[in-house]
Structure 1
Amino acid sequence: MRLMHDYHNQFDREPGMKRELSPDQMLKVIFEYVAKISNEKQVDRILMLMADMGRQLVVADRCTLWLLDEQSGELWTKVAHGIPPIRIPAGTGVVGHSMSSGEDIIINDAYADARFNQEVDKQTGYRTRNIIALPIRNNDGDIIGAYQAINKLTSQGYFTDKDREHLGLAASYSGKALESALLYQEIEDTQKEIIFTMAEVGESRSKETGNHVKRVAEYSYVLARGMNMDEREREILRMASPMHDIGKIGIPDAILKKPGKLTDEEFNVIKSHSTMGYEMLRKSRRSILKAAATVAHEHHEKFNGRGYPRGLAGEEIHLFGRITALADVFDALGSDRVYKAAWPLERILNLFKEERGQHFDPNVVDAFFENLKDILEIRDTFQDTMPESSNGGADQ
């Protein structure tokens, strides 16, 4: 891999013009990136890797991967060298023409071609000289996206049919991985939609609002980030934490919706929702639902061992449960309900300081205070109105 190392150094650091890749260098670039792409499931990461591979193969200043959003009729990209995520109407711009026509396009004087939208350069201050674009197809031959490279960096200064071949190689080697990742994302999105729907059903039975589960999900994500969890784990928790009270589906209405204070016996029935939620979800092999089972089971455990249902203490409680516990309590105390007014923020903050190491994991409390600005923004973004009827026991 010494040759590849030398090439990266030359490409990234040498000022001025670049050289075309030798056949050996090209093979090494393809093998390096295809190995990474084939092991990646996240669409954003695959797009970035494909863009990097394409940029190196054709020695361009920038390379962007565009995907077609059939529902909105737009082309979108979340990763592009030097520019923020953008969306454009399908069929517009050079990349849109390439996808709508199914043809490869090489333009070596962008400003002389009517298909090029000069407004983008005006907004960014960038000067586009030449462009190459070609569609990416799935296994059925349908166009799902497109490669677009901008500004050739060699002394020749323009794209050729060889560049089209090289970019086509990148598309053919990585297109299947992209299609698989898009299918995987669709499955995850469907799973997420089902989870949120189930969570909202559970909360609505106890007269919570749909925004409660949204806020708990976002609070949990911010806290997980503050705990230095990796991105995949944060996303799993964000999708799992809304299911924390799914077991309330099994609680009788006479108890769940009782307007007054619960008896000890009734409160014991309420507490069973954590075990019922766990039993509902625990047999799933899906990572999100497995995490949801843990969250449902452990979000009422306390760091000092005085919670329920099992009296776990400290790190015996899964970190997902420790994080969701604080997120849920913060939202419950800070929200208006017909049976109680929201606590003032200062009162909640004082409680969390007092309960640090008692009810709550000290590290989660610290992450809460370190990220309080983001948490308050979430609270304000997903505000809700009071439900119309009461509930005396759901937040106990």
Structure 2
Amino acid sequence: MVLKQELTPEHLLRIIFDYTAKIASETKLNSVLVLMANMGREMILSDRCTVWLIDAVREELYTTVAHGVDEIRIPFGSGFVGTAIETGESIIVEDAYNDPRFNPDNDLKTGYVTKSIISIPFRNNEGNIIGAYQAVNKMTESAVFTTRDLDMLSLAASYAGKSLESVLLHQEIVDTQREIISTMGEIGEIRNKETGNHVKRVADYSYVLALGLGLSEYEAELLRTASPMHDIGKVAIPDAVLLKPGKLTDEEYDIIKSHTKIGHQLLKGSRRELLRTASIVAEQHHEKWNGTGYPNGLKGEDIHIYGRITAVADVFDALSAERVYKAAWPIEKIEALFLEERGRHFDPAVVDVFFETLPKLLAIREQFSDK
């Protein structure tokens, strides 16, 4: 371990200004948590810094951002951080293993040795505790945290806690939108004797394919959130047609095909980017690269990239999933079909990415299996 010297006031101010500016301009929860953890670690020269949040529903404390480890969950009141959150008081400990409040489970899992600890709760604008900072192992010669560290981390907690609240509120709105969209998508599929897992799989397939094509994380996530609505127009198709066991007449097939237009009409008027994206997917996921699809007979790149991606994701799931009316296709047969339809039904670039990412797609299929 390389020991460090205490920061000068000028250096400390530079860290504060740099990180507070970054935190103020960030809207993604995980990014804010990373910035908070890094700011805390640099300000008080700790080896690791963790940002803990409260999960009231599960009565747990959790962190998705902890230097050196993955997500951790602990019961309310557990360990130093649980005590700090429960009491609202900051804690400084010189030797963790000599304190009965210390929970050594994570050290035992990772082989890390915790010595000194500082835990500081942070509050929202209404003064309610919403989480805590916890820093581990002071990286100076003394190897213990001081009251100066407490003041510095408290300053970081005061600012970051209020910024975090606004991001959490934004995230809650986004999560609610996603849940509503996913549920609506599932309702449409259940009428068609599909399972809720169908829309989950198509969503995750679309995300993987989008990233593989070079779309940004934002665009890929937008498509993943919107794609469960691809068949929402089927809610308006009569059961006598939608659930007909035998061959459809030409007139009945035209009624089935109208679900693309209906879905588009339901969603296109929204000012929300998420629902506008869903309207594109709903309308265009049955278009074909060679122009023989429906409802508009679009061809090639006139089909939106979201529609081209969802077409591959939807067909892959339809073929690979077992249903009461058909057996699942073996993967070799599915691969042969996509090769045959490359440049006909499907965008060649999307098909190429399909084969490149097939192991990930199969892992998703297994994770959300209907069995």
> TM-score per shorter chain, which class?
over 0.9
> 1: CA distance between counterparts of 2:38 and 2:161?
14
- Report the CA distance between 1:42 and its aligned residue: 1.5
Query: Which residue of structure 2 aligns with residue 145 of structure 1?
Result: 131
Please give the residue correspondences for 1:373-392 in structure 2 after superposition, counting only pairs within 5 Å: 373-384=359-370
**CA offsets, 1:194-240, max 9 Å, x none?**
11111111112222221211111121122122223222222211111
Give the corresponding residue for 2:101: 115
1:79 aligns to what SS in structure 2?
coil
1:345 to 331, 337, 345: 331
CA displacement at 1:299 relative to structure 2: 0.5
CA distance in 1: counterparts of 2:220 and 2:368, whole angstroms: 20
The alpha carbon displacement at 1:100 in A equals 0.5
Distance (whole Å) between structure 2 residues aligned to residue 200 and residue 250 of structure 1: 14
Specify the code of the residue in structure 1 equivalent to 2:71.
P
In structure 1, the residue matched to 2:90 is: 104
**Residue 391 (structure 1) aligns with:** none
Q: Distance in 2 between matches of 1:217 and 1:133?
A: 39
Residue 304 of structure 1 and its aligned partner are, at CA, apart by 1.6
Task: Give unmatched runs, 5+ long, in structure 1.
Answer: 1-14, 386-396
Deviating above 3 A after TM superposition, structure 1's stretches of 4 or more consecutive aligned residues are none
Which residue identity is paired with 1:76? Y
Match of 1:64 among 28, 33, 50: 50
In structure 2, stretches of 5+ residues that fail to align are none
Q: 1:172 aligns with which of 158, 169, 177?
A: 158
Q: Quote how far apart the aligned CAs of 1:342 are.
A: 2.6
2:260 maps to 1:274: yes
Verify: 1:291 aligned to 2:294, yes or no: no
2:216 corresponds to: 230
Aligned position for 1:332: 318
Q: Does 1:49 align with 2:65?
A: no
Does 2:79 match 1:93? yes
What is the CA–CA distance in structure 2 between the aligned matches of 1:383 and 1:109, rounded to whole Å? 48
The separation in 2 between residues aligned to 1:170 and 1:219, in whole angstroms, is: 40
Cα distance in 1 for residues equivalent to 2:361 and 2:327: 20
Q: Which amino acid aligns with 1:46?
A: V
Tell me how far apart the structure 2 counterparts of residues 34 and 279 of structure 1 sit (CA, whole Å).
Answer: 44
Matched residues in 1 for 2:242 and 2:124: separation? 51
Give, in whole Å, the separation in 1 of the partners of 2:110 and 2:370: 39
- The alpha-carbon deviation at position 79 of structure 1 amounts to 1.1
The structure 2 residue matched to 1:31, chosen from 1, 14, 17, is 17
1:32-61 CA deviation, whole Å, 9 max, x = no partner?
A: 111111111211111110000000111111
Q: CA deviation at 1:344?
A: 2.3
Note the alpha carbon deviations across 1:343-385, whole angstroms, 9 max, x for none: 2221111010011111111111111111111211222222226
TM-score by length of 2: 0.96
Query: In structure 1, what is the Cα distance between the partners aligned to 2:327 and 2:348?
Result: 27
* Paired position in structure 1 for 2:241: 255
Q: Percent identity?
A: 60
Give the Å deviation of 1:338: 3.2
- Amino acid corresponding to residue 20 of structure 1 in structure 2: E
Q: Alignment partner for residue 161 of structure 1, among 147, 150, 163?
A: 147
Residue 253 of structure 2: SS of its match in structure 1? helix
Q: What is the aligned partner in structure 1 of residue 70 from structure 2?
A: 84
Residues 278-321 of structure 1: CA distance to partner in whole angstroms, max 9, x if unpaired?
11011222222121111101101111222111222222222111
Classify the secondary structure of the residue corresponding to 1:302.
coil
Counterparts of 2:25 and 2:251 in 1: how far apart (Å)? Answer: 53
Q: Distance in 2 between matches of 1:316 and 1:169?
A: 53
The one-letter amino acid of 1:284's match is S
Q: Which residue of 2 aligns with 1:363?
A: 349
Select between 359-368 and 223-232 the one with higher mean Cα deviation. Answer: 223-232
Q: Secondary structure at the match of 2:109?
A: helix
- 1:190 maps onto 2:169 in alignment: no
Task: Tell me which residue corresponds to 2:287.
Answer: 301
Displacement of 1:322 after TM fit?
Answer: 0.9
Supply the AA of the counterpart residue of 2:257. K
Q: Distance in 1 between matches of 2:149 and 2:323?
A: 63
Give me the TM-score of the superposition, normalised by structure 1: 0.90
Cα distance in 2 for partners of 1:152, 1:22 equals: 16
Alpha-carbon distance in 1 for matches of 2:367, 2:280: 28
Distance 1:74 1:240 in 2: 31
- Measured after TM superposition, the shift of residue 341 of structure 1 is 2.8
**Quick one: which amino acid aligns to residue 115 of structure 1?**
R
CA shift for structure 1 position 120: 2.3
Instruction: Give, in whole Å, the separation in 1 of the partners of 2:250 and 2:200.
Output: 31
Shift of 1:141: 1.0
Deviation at 1:75, TM superposition (A): 0.6
Once the two structures are TM-superposed, the CA of residue 170 in structure 1 deviates from its matched residue by 0.9
Instruction: Report the Cα offset of residue 333 of structure 1.
Output: 1.6
CA deviation map 1:3-45 (0-9, x unaligned): xxxxxxxxxxxx7211222222111111111111111121111
The counterpart of 2:59, out of the listed 60, 73, 77, is 73
- In the alignment, the residues of structure 1 paired with residue 114 and residue 320 of structure 2 have an alpha-carbon distance, to the nearest angstrom, of 51
Q: Once structures 1 and 2 are overlaid, which stretch shifts more, 268-277 or 217-226?
A: 217-226
